[in-house]
Amino acid sequence: MKKLTLRELNRVSVVDFQSMKKSPVVVVMDNIRSALNVGSAFRTGDAFAVEKVVLCGITAQPPHREILKTAIGATASVAWEYHEDTIRAIEKLRNDGYQIVAVEQAAESKTLEEFPFSENEKYALIFGNEVTGVAQPVMDLVDHCIEIPQFGTKHSLNISVSIGVVLWEFIRNRKPV
Amino acid sequence: MKKLTLRELNRVSVVDFQSMKKSPVVVVMDNIRSALNVGSAFRTGDAFAVEKVVLCGITAQPPHREILKTAIGATASVAWEYHEDTIRAIEKLRNDGYQIVAVEQAAESKTLEEFPFSENEKYALIFGNEVTGVAQPVMDLVDHCIEIPQFGTKHSLNISVSIGVVLWEFIRNRKPV
């Protein structure tokens, strides 16, 4: 099998990306400790054409050396904003018409493959701190909770991997282009 | 929504993991530069209960400080082996009955959501080097190629994210338990 060259991949330019139709989804990062995870969210958000990344609390913001390392330039294409308070960020997203969804392991969560993403809704997906997860006061505000089924010994997936898996499930049936 | 406690997650022990039924899939890492990506493969491989991780060429092996950092212990649960030569590793997997599938961007690739994973087959999924991808001599040997649809400015996803996304697509319809 012949691999495609970079030219054959025919990727969009940063300018074209900014004006193109996006996946109706926002990635909210609630007090993420690792700037490497933030950079990875930008890179994945670029690939899956998310509307924006919302950085909250202690989550690092661009420009930042470690974000740069894993974003490899995607901070130039993907829109982002910062909010000191995750709860204020969520209230704003709700006012803007987003369904608020935590990615967490909770009593009332739905598993990822059974979560009924609606074609007529837009979603804000909240990913929480590497150790403590999405904060309980934030959990108290969400409309829904998605859980990624896991079968092993560890209690969770890496947050960068979780973002990729959930965004893929979201767009696999509703491509942005 | 009330988050589940670690106890409520009710994860399996390392001993139980080793004897439990696995997803019929092996992750092959072809000359991966970053040991952090290797550790992440173990952590994701644990969560999605893969049969084993096959480390090839320059790919780092446990025990290794950076693998430990991202695997957070999953090198104790997930089976692994090392082969100096990726091609030899693939020949062995083919002899063992695995379908050989590269995750790459190639002329004849199928997109991830359209790839027809068979219920009666087991798969070896090959992930390539961070810069050069799966080596062309390896590509010449594979049965199939899967491409993750991407809509942004960057030419690829991070390998840890790619592993998560492809494994999720594999197991979303055929859970190991």
Token pair for residue A46?
Answer: 């670029």
Does the beta-carbon distance from B163 to A161 stay under 8 Å? yes
Contacts of A48 in chain B (CB under 8 A): 150-152
Contacts of B101 in chain A (CB under 8 A): none
Q: Over pLDDT 90: what percentage of chain B?
A: 94
Q: What is the 3-state secondary structure (H, E, C) of chain A?
A: CCECCHHHHCCCCHHHHHHCCCEEEEEEEECCCCHHHHHHHHHHHHHCCEEEEEEECCCCCCCCHHHHHHHCCCCCCCCEEEECCHHHHHHHHHHCCEEEEEECCECCCEEHHHCCCCCCCEEEEEEEECCCECCHHHHCCCCEEEECCCCCCCCCCCHHHHHHHHHHHHHCCCCCC
Does the beta-carbon distance from A4 to B149 stay under 8 Å? no
Mean pLDDT score across all residues of chain B: 96
Domains, chain B, ordered by start: 21-171 (3.40.1280.10)
Q: What's the complex ipTM?
A: 0.97
Mean pLDDT score across all residues of chain A: 96
Chain A nearest-CA residue for B128:
A3
Determine contact: A68 vs chain B, CB below 8 A. no
pLDDT per residue over B138-152, tens digit each?
Answer: 999 999 999 999 999
Task: Give the residue from B69, B68, B76 showing the smallest Cα distance to B18.
Answer: B76
Q: What is the distance between the alpha carbons of residues B44 and B61, in angstroms, rounded to a whole number?
A: 16
Determine contact: A69 vs chain B, CB below 8 A. no
Determine contact: A9 vs chain B, CB below 8 A. yes
Q: Which regions of B22-135 does DSSP assign to beta strands (E)?
A: 23-30, 50-56, 80-83, 98-103, 110-111, 122-128
CA of B157 vs chain A CAs: smallest distance (Å): 6
Check whether A9 has a pLDDT greater than 80.
Answer: yes
In a mutational test of the B interface, the residue from A168, A170, A175 whose CB has the highest number of chain B CBs within 10 Å is A168
Determine contact: A74 vs chain B, CB below 8 A. yes
pLDDT per residue over A55-110, tens digit each?
Answer: 999 999 999 999 999 999 999 999 999 999 999 999 999 999 999 999 999 999 99
CA of A96 vs chain B CAs: smallest distance (Å): 22
pLDDT per residue over A18-65, tens digit each?
Answer: 999 999 999 999 999 999 999 999 999 999 999 999 999 999 999 999
Task: Give the residue from A69, A52, A13 showing the smallest Cα distance to B154.
Answer: A13
